[in-house]
Structure 1
Amino acid sequence: MSGLRERKKRATREALSWEAVRLAAERGLENVLVEDIAAAAGVSPRTFNNYFASKYEAIVWREVDRIVQIGDILRGRPPDEPFWESIEHAVLAIYNVEGTETPPSAEWTEGVRRFVSSPSLAAEFLKADAVMTRALAEAIADRLGMDVDRDMYPSVVAGSVAAARAVAQTQWINADPPVALGPLIREALGYLVRGGEP
């Protein structure tokens, strides 16, 4: 029963976060209220507040969740798989680059570009970056049998992966015409996997 409850809670969190992103892209961040997000997800504002402290947190949650999922996948990779292959598999599994991703519309990327550049969202992204890097570093440390608080390597790798992802996302947001995100993630991550060779 608790498993079903957790799945329902996760589905609600995902729905709220997605609606926050969608509405911010369509209307502009300043024109979206918590009440709008809750209504679009089919829940009450009170329910929204049980999951997120603000619309900004709801928007950023999607990226935090992706990194947590990458860490979970990394922990589950075969123990004898080369480390960087495991990293690549985990990241690409989340960003769906198996040829099924299509470019978004120009209106969508323009809407995303507008709201991610909002100063109101910047502080939330900064907080999220710290959480994401730590979560991935912990997964890397688990994978390698290291101590995330004593060994620098897991945090260095996590920061590098986060930087590659951020650069790819920036390129995706600014691409004209729009392009799919997945192949950009693959390309950026490839520089790390190949040891920095272009």
Structure 2
Amino acid sequence: METTAGLRERKKAETRQAIHKATMRLAVERGLDHVTVDDIVEAANVSRRTFSNYFGNKEDALLYGEEQRIRSLVRAVRERPAEESGWQALRGAVRDELEDVGEPEREWAVRTSLARRHPALLARQLANHAELERELVQAISDREGSGEPGADLKRRIMAAAFLVALRIATNIWIEEQEARPLSQIMEQALDEIARPFA
């Protein structure tokens, strides 16, 4: 029974990933405005009903990978060693994530550029980042306990500063056309912003 359930979940994950990749490829080739759900289901070799079982619209399908990485980062922060400070856990989690998945692919950079130009994607990304910030603040709070007065403010600033550093590093990486590894630029950005939190 568990084997069947595990296989079913793996097939679902593979289908979701296939739809996401097809959406990404078509959006990169044509621009998101010129891609329909029918185009996506044909490219992913699934039915329209299957698409609807996994995603509400093409924006959901396109941003699926990013949203999975957000969940993975929060999980990684929560799994860091208990003796680490909040800032050390944030840095260690992003370092581990990059080591696990490797440097991002060109498609990821293209999708980031697409999001800057497409209002629906930009709004969704901003909402995702706001949620990520809230979840990181909670993960830090769970790690450090209630703390001294003003701890909540410090944690909010820490999470926001961490995400700003990652965004700046990503933008530089894209602007430099991937001349340096993203991990190197992120480490430099985090060093610059870390002084109050280290």
Cα displacement (A) at 1:72: 0.7
DSSP 3-state at the match of 2:68: helix
Aligned match of 1:85 in 88, 107, 110?
88
Corresponding residue for residue 193 of structure 1: 194
Q: Are the structure 2 counterparts of residues 76 and 102 from structure 1 closer, same or farther at C-alpha, using a change threshold of 3 Å?
A: closer
Q: Is contact 2:109-2:174 (8 Å) kept?
A: yes
In 2: Cα distance, 1:196 partner to 1:144 partner: 13
Aligned match of 1:75 in 68, 73, 78?
78
Corresponding residue for residue 136 of structure 1: 136
Q: For structure 2, which runs of at least 5 residues remain unmatched after alignment? A: none
Q: Is contact 1:113-1:174 (8 Å) kept?
A: no
Q: Is contact 1:88-1:193 (8 Å) kept?
A: no
Aligned match of 1:47 in 47, 50, 56?
50
Q: For structure 1, which runs of at least 5 residues remain unmatched after alignment? A: none
Q: Is contact 1:109-1:173 (8 Å) kept?
A: yes
Which moves more between the two structures, 151-160 or 161-170?
151-160
In 1: Cα distance, 2:119 partner to 2:188 partner: 29
DSSP 3-state at the match of 1:136: helix
How many percent of aligned residue pairs carry the same amino acid? 35
Cα displacement (A) at 1:134: 2.0
Cα displacement (A) at 1:123: 1.9
In 1: Cα distance, 2:93 partner to 2:144 partner: 15
Cα displacement (A) at 1:138: 2.3
DSSP 3-state at the match of 1:46: helix
Corresponding residue for residue 153 of structure 2: 152
Task: Determine which structure has greater relative contact order: mean sequence separation of CA pairs < 8 Å that are 6+ residues apart, divided by chain length.
Answer: 1
Q: Are the structure 2 counterparts of residues 21 and 161 from structure 1 closer, same or farther at C-alpha, using a change threshold of 3 Å?
A: farther
Which one has a larger percent helix, Structure 1 or Structure 2?
Answer: 2
Corresponding residue for residue 103 of structure 2: 101
* Number of residue equivalences: 192
Q: Are the structure 2 counterparts of residues 103 and 76 from structure 1 closer, same or farther at C-alpha, using a change threshold of 3 Å?
A: closer
In 1: Cα distance, 2:61 partner to 2:168 partner: 22
Corresponding residue for residue 33 of structure 2: 30
Corresponding residue for residue 24 of structure 2: 21
In 1: Cα distance, 2:75 partner to 2:89 partner: 11
Structure 1 length-normalised TM = 0.76
Q: Is contact 1:67-1:135 (8 Å) kept?
A: no
Q: Are the structure 2 counterparts of residues 144 and 50 from structure 1 closer, same or farther at C-alpha, using a change threshold of 3 Å?
A: farther
In 2: Cα distance, 1:196 partner to 1:95 partner: 22
Q: Are the structure 2 counterparts of residues 112 and 151 from structure 1 closer, same or farther at C-alpha, using a change threshold of 3 Å?
A: closer
In 1: Cα distance, 2:94 partner to 2:181 partner: 15
In 2: Cα distance, 1:146 partner to 1:6 partner: 38
Q: What is the one-letter code of the residue matched to 1:182?
A: S
Q: Is contact 2:86-2:140 (8 Å) kept?
A: no
Q: Are the structure 2 counterparts of residues 111 and 156 from structure 1 closer, same or farther at C-alpha, using a change threshold of 3 Å?
A: closer
State the structure with more CA Rg.
Answer: 2
In 2: Cα distance, 1:44 partner to 1:188 partner: 44
CA RMSD of aligned residues (A): 3.3
Cα displacement (A) at 1:3: 4.5
